[in-house]
Structure 1
């Protein structure tokens, strides 16, 4: 009998291991993306990591750090309140304990402003601005569309001083977060290769975009680190009908054939499952499909991910790399809505927190085959 129970124990242990390995083989990346917490919100965020992310087997945390870190290389670029090395260490230790890899993000190229606010890089180094003639509106006066086509500012990728600054920031947070991958953002780049720019005028926008991806990727590769970016600028918005936000209208999309094949694409298609993950995979790129605030779309994306892997040959299968949930706020409002299960005044349960719960409940069921 003792031998019987021992064999049963081994069988159950192997079964548990197989279930985990099976989930890993189906959804290699199980991600969660959000802004990094401020210091006063760190304890609550670590609690969320331990009690909510880990039980759902989230294994990748994409943190939008930007200037929310006490940079030593460029203290002039710090936010007024920032995470210290000690704060980051607490978060890194918590994630290590739970088997969660942190991927820090600083928005590079685009998203150098938002509404009426100029972000720190162009505020401190205005000569990096791709469109210095476009003036920021007064507070409360930003509107879209507008005569200048202003959504977010970009830095000029050909400015001779910009990469020294941004790469020093990248290197510093990569070391602080002990990260093996970096997320450069690079989404919704509307300003690039502008006619009035003395460096970029007349240049192919796709080549400019691809060269910037290559430059960032090569910098990271010197330390055996990976580059992750959002995928919208690599999709033809007109031909696909996806539009100018989740795809490109300014001819950056041919860059998909110019960028290195080891760049990881985070494919955000929030209002419908556009099957763009198949496009990226067919181009030889690993793709992580991203949800936001539409639970029904997130469920379709989980189904599409599993189906695509099932239907793919061995070359394609591994390129359907995983699924991630994205949150476009700081942790504090998200956690408030999450724990209170707050409804949206207009859309009811179409919230980032409910979408996260629904999506990862379905991912969890893949492990048991339900």
Structure 2
């Protein structure tokens, strides 16, 4: 009898283990296509993402859409509504959740180029005294990486929420990605509104303001997780974590926010940290296949070993692409060869590892 009971316990344990390995999010994140790339991208979604059982596509749109609410913020040759609907339809066909992104708070400039928001509304600039150089170099005396908008400017949310609402509607999205990574300028000493304020509270209040706005239409907020990690205590540093004291915001933000936890040089296991803080988390690799494989294994192990309360917070994996859509597609379809770290190799390794996980049918 004891042997039978032991055998049953082993079987139940194995079943539980297999079920724990199912990943709710199998994602892909890339910049939105231009008109010339659109057909190839749709083919890629239909044939390559679908065949790999990708079920979530985060599309970094920013100002690459013909906004009707704020036409002055459009990029030149932005995607039309008709073109967006082609992406929407191929995602619907393949059961892929489509989540648009516009960078909010940070990433309002890049190198020597100011972004459209601060170009049109310079009064929103958190650090107007910091001028963009003709030739950008890092490090620099101003600590300039990317500019931020001032989260306490009384007019900024009227503008950005027009964009958020319109982009969510045209993409028929039930979630929105606000970026919010690598925010180096926040609570600047020279800002008349933010000076002297707690940077963690400023960051958390902006997250919650966006989350609450999205919740009015039953949409979920997704953000990158780096500003919520203590870069000094962990040793992770200023890029994949925070060195300007925003990390305490992790205890102040809405627990319904999805955290996209990116680590590109090492497979740091901070997903455990976010889960234990009560937040759902998606682990995000970039271009190192060995890291992506390690991250899948870590995530599966975390889900297998977690309490029932923690298990469901480990949502899955999302491949990120940062070299540009054209560059990625050229490498994927053999038009160019990349030596060394490769987004395509990482993408293939990630989903090979994910799709080798045993999955039980419900």
CA distance in 2, matches of 1:70, 1:352: 29
2:266 pairs with 1:272: yes
- Give how far 1:56 is off: 0.2
CA contact (8 A) 1:195 1:202 kept: yes
Report what 2:232 is aligned to. 238
Report what 2:155 is aligned to. 161
- Give how far 1:290 is off: 0.2
Question: 1:98-144 CA deviation, whole Å, 9 max, x = no partner?
Answer: 00010000000000000111010001100000000000111xx1000
Question: Which residue among 5, 24, 29 is the counterpart of 1:28?
Answer: 24
CA distance in 1, matches of 2:237, 2:287: 19
Question: Which residue among 316, 322, 333 is the counterpart of 1:328?
Answer: 322
Question: Which residue among 165, 173, 184 is the counterpart of 1:179?
Answer: 173
CA contact (8 A) 1:154 1:189 kept: yes
Question: Which residue among 302, 307, 317 is the counterpart of 2:301?
Answer: 307
Give the TM-score, by structure 1 length.
0.91
Report what 2:347 is aligned to. 356
- Give how far 1:367 is off: 3.4
Question: Which residue among 327, 334, 344 is the counterpart of 1:340?
Answer: 334
- Give how far 1:285 is off: 0.3
CA distance in 2, matches of 1:179, 1:368: 27
Matches for 1:41-190 after TM superposition, within 5 Å: 41-138=37-134, 141-190=135-184
Report what 1:289 is aligned to. 283
The alpha-carbon distance between structure 1 residues 341 and 80, as it changes in their structure 2 partners (threshold 3 A), is closer
Question: 1:73-117 CA deviation, whole Å, 9 max, x = no partner?
Answer: 000000011100000111100100000010000000000000111
- Give how far 1:340 is off: 1.2
CA contact (8 A) 1:343 1:351 kept: no
The alpha-carbon distance between structure 1 residues 335 and 158, as it changes in their structure 2 partners (threshold 3 A), is same
The alpha-carbon distance between structure 1 residues 279 and 24, as it changes in their structure 2 partners (threshold 3 A), is closer
Q: Runs (4+) of structure 1 moved beyond 4 Å?
A: 22-25
Extract unaligned runs of 5+ from structure 2: 1-14
Question: 1:183-231 CA deviation, whole Å, 9 max, x = no partner?
Answer: 0000000000000000000000000000000000000000100000000
Give the TM-score, by structure 2 length.
0.93
CA distance in 2, matches of 1:332, 1:199: 41
Question: Which residue among 350, 353, 357 is the counterpart of 1:366?
Answer: 357
> Is the partner of 1:45 in helix, strand or coil?
helix
> Is the partner of 1:224 in helix, strand or coil?
coil
Number of aligned positions between the proteins:
344
CA contact (8 A) 1:107 1:186 kept: yes
Matches for 1:199-218 after TM superposition, within 5 Å: 199-218=193-212
